A and B are shown apart, each in its own frame.
Chain A
Amino acid sequence: MGLEQFKNRNVGTQNYVKLDLPHPPKNGWCAFKQVLSRSLKPELFVGLWVALREMINALFRGQMHTTQYPLEKLPISPRYRAIHEMLRLLESGHYRCIGCGLCEKICIANCITMDTRYDENQRKEVSEYTINFGRCIFCGYCAEVCPELAIVHGGRYETASEQRASFSLFEDMLTPIDKLNLQQEYQGFGAISPNADENIKKTPLAY
């Protein structure tokens, strides 16, 4: 890419196109006429009628169209990238994250940090995990890179809180163990493709 366009700092020679706009009112009388002609359009009454009709429908015919937020919440598309959730394995209930650190590495805002250790079962254990939601740009890379479908974007889009820290630790994001039966397999960003079965190859093992 050439840098010529950045080097031309002479703004005056560029081609501006003038829009063909009506002239603004010249004096007080003209301005008054403009206000009057804009206000007394019959559409005003059309609008009033629509509002009245909907009010009657909603109140007396049971056709309410607004949701009672925050008591009611609209379902959100799986494509939406809200606060992260950490999923568990359905069978064992163990958290899925293996501590590979790929999410930490790929994170574009550099906001994931994790501590790992060698546990009693000779496995890598995630001893702590955190996302700094003050920096997260909800790009979804972490969910996309995760080889275990462990970290996903959940449906929790309300990110107002006294402290962002209150939902940024591992246990805040992890499916509560008593809600395991409610855990949804994630369909959104980073989920396996619908035709994954066709693409998968068996590891050649002799047993």
Chain B
Amino acid sequence: MSEMEPAKNMISIKIDGVEYKAKEGEYILNAARANDIFIPAICYLTRCSPTLACRICLVEADGKQVYSCNARVKEGMEITINTPNILKERRAIMEVYDVNHPLQCGVCDQSGECELQNYTLELGVDSQSYAIPDTKRETKNWSSVLHYDAGLCIVCERCTTVCKDMIGDAAIKTTKRGGAALDKDYKATMPKDAYAMWNKLQKSIIAPSNGTDYTNCSDCGECIAVCPVGALVSRDFQYTTNAWDLKRIPATCAHCSSGCQIYYETKPTSIADRTEKIYRVTNEWNYISLCGAGRFGYDFENRVEGKDQEAFTKAVEAFKKAKVINFTSVITNEEALMLQSLKEKMGVKLINREARAFQRFLDFYSQASGNSLYTTDFKEVMATDFVMSVGTSLRNDNPNARYAFNNIQKMNKGAGLYFHPVGDNLVPTFGKNIEMFTHKVGQEELALLLIIDLFADHDKLPNSVKEQLDRDKLLEALGKDSEAFAKSFDKMMKKKESFSLMVGEDLYFHEKAENIAKLIAVLENSSSVKVAMIPPKTNSLGVALICDLDDEAEGYTIGYNALGDFRLSALGDGDLDMPSMNQQEGTLTNMHKRVTPTNAALEYHGYELNDIMAELISAPKYTIDWTPHLPVEKGFKSINFDDLPNEYKNDGTENRGYLLDTTTKEVGEIEVDKFDDSTVLDGEIAYRCNPQRQFNDFTNKAHQIFEEFGLYASKERAETLGKRVTVEFDNGSLELDVIVDERMDGDIVAVPDFKSAENIYELFGASRYQKVIIREV
């Protein structure tokens, strides 16, 4: 059931005399892997640049020795994986890696999943020909989650590579180790590549790039995931279990709309307590990168002793008299479908603010463009070389959108335009060709008009757009000098072939959402820019497609993980307990328009929503029996849950669940409004935005995520604010601690919405930005 990638530009190569097909321009290593052929390789990471640190991937291509991780296949190329000389090099390399490597495999957290062990055995290293005095290498805690044991590090540079090329923090780098120099004789006697590799290895070690002992980074833990040995381990996980004792449960991360592939790894809590506990989260790091919330925010389960009959009866009663169901986007497609069935059969109203805003926006977009859904996913975005972002705080809203933005700069020699009212000092460090537009709140339409002006075929534009395209004026309004921009834009456009735009939540919660959706449709119709949308929260896309949501509703309200008169809660604080996302199976719809399955990692003994359905309307035996009934007319497929795959193939194909079907129909010309300044906000402004790693009540419950609920501000702004402030909105106020976010710039402050009990959506209403009065207390 995998979606086959189109067989574009396939060429033939020969590996060890056998003919295979490979994608043109692919690295030899990746081509071999796609054909299920093994070439030893340590330092290379798919989706990142080759560093040539290990040199073990040597092969012979057309008679010449090359590194398979950075040599590209050519038509008719003949590749030999093992020659006597290459085998000698590889063995010498592995011997070198073993020099002075501490003999502590017995306690090492890699516990057998070690690439150093594997390759040492694979290459039959049974004696050691090299020696050098060891250097004292200290163990360090780099952050609240990172533990680095320099003694175990083989300086393969995978951690630094992923941090730079994928994550974008570039928080760690190789530095001087201060080790002894190699014996001169080795140069003459050792295999050449092994010597070169050792020479470099002996000089380097990994350290935070800011020169301190602390990384001060996004704490995503991706460096831990890619480390081939036990040098980088999470502080919480260290020495608590062996890898082989853990049970792997394939799942989908339920914290944001990326819907990343993850494995929950479980084992009994302790000798005395045999209930299963999640020890860590791992991922297929060659194909997907997690953020800190996904990797460390896993212990949010709702432990329930048994079925609370009394609460259940009350819940059924509550549902019978309910007028409204208020819920969040942290919900499976199946449960969303249940709520929709309730609406159809019992006439309750459904309230989900973030999904409703997105639903409206999608409707506006479909009406204007004729496409049932946005046309691009973030994999396609990642393949472009010019990327733009409008209406999203890239660093906070969606980690994978941010990774894509960064990866394009690093891997595709890309360029980028970043439009956002809240200044950010991390994004400009992603690459040399990034222009930051820190525009005023409410000027999002101008940003889109500028993009249309820059990229569209002006002949194809409707008049209502054309007459608004005065580049100098647009640039001026957006705070740029037009000459300087023209110059840098020329440079940015050099050798660029494919263009993409990502848009986010600011545009859905916008007074002019309809007009903005039209502008996006215009852009797509008249240019080659591909547009991808970031759904606001976890399953907002699924909810928007499945549920018929209401704007306003009054009366007796059931809150599902949200406020209400009767509360169902997976947080353990409601009137009836519900299973949390790591305790239930079902599907989620992610921003890549993919419906992915997730499995239950931990047991749950209480009632589920499906039990309430069985009492109220009718329901099949299991929640997952709803899966094949997801609305086909909205693009879902009628496939049983148990038939949904959840894996990546060796060539990187994502074989998880299925892609939503999309349709296109003809529509007439689009008429857009003229921009006026009425939506522009000035003065003291608060932005509804979560700190990195916090997305909802569940991340907040996890013990390794401790970003506080407070007022986030840039360093300069925080200094003027004081320690604790009241933030007054039109319809209420909040008292919050001021927290410095060193990566924020400018005067706009951020108020998080991850605590549903604080009812932040109510304060902000239909926009993500509000004028506020801030007073020190």
Binding site for B on A (CB under 8 A): 98-102, 104-105, 113-119, 122-125, 128-130, 147-148, 203-207
Contact = CB atoms under 8 A, between A and B. Distances in A.
Contacts of B132: 206
Contact of B107 (A98, A204, A205): A98
Given A124-B239, A147-B106, A104 B245 contact: yes
A114 B271 contact: yes
A207 B179 CA distance: 14
A101 B111 contact: yes
B720 interface: no
A158 to B, nearest CB: 25
Contacts of A125: 239
Contacts of A102: 106
6 contacts: A101-B241, A105-B245, A116-B241, A125-B239, A129-B271, A206-B133
B139 A122 contact: yes
B239 A117 contact: yes
A115 B270 contact: yes
Given A98-B106, A128-B270, A205-B134, A118 B139 contact: no
A207 B270 contact: no
Given A124-B239, A204-B129, 9 more contacts: A104-B242, A105-B242, A113-B268, A118-B239, A129-B271, A147-B106, A204-B130, A206-B131, A207-B134
B678 interface: no
Interface string B230-250: 000001001111101100000
Interface string B86-103: 000000000000001001
Interface string B205-235: 0000000000000000000000000000001
Contact of A128 (B106, B107, B235, B271): B271
B244 A105 contact: yes
Interface string B33-61: 00000000000000000000000000000
B100 A205 contact: yes
Nearest to A113: B271
Nearest to A146: B106
B653 interface: no
A102 B239 CA distance: 14
A125 B240 CA distance: 9
A118 B107 contact: no
A203 B270 CA distance: 37
Contacts of B239: 99, 116-119, 123-125
B242 A101 contact: yes
B245 A101 contact: yes
B85 interface: no
A204 B131 contact: yes
Contacts of B106: 98, 100, 102, 147-148
Nearest to A100: B106
Contact of A118 (B100, B238, B242): B238
Contacts of A114: 271
A99 B107 contact: yes
A135 to B, nearest CB: 14
Interface string B121-141: 000000011111110000100
B271 A118 contact: no
Among A99, A101, A148, which residue has the most Cβ atoms of chain B within 10 A?
A101
Contacts of A113: 268, 271
Among B107, B132, B268, which residue has the most Cβ atoms of chain A within 10 A?
B107
Interface string B263-275: 0000010111000
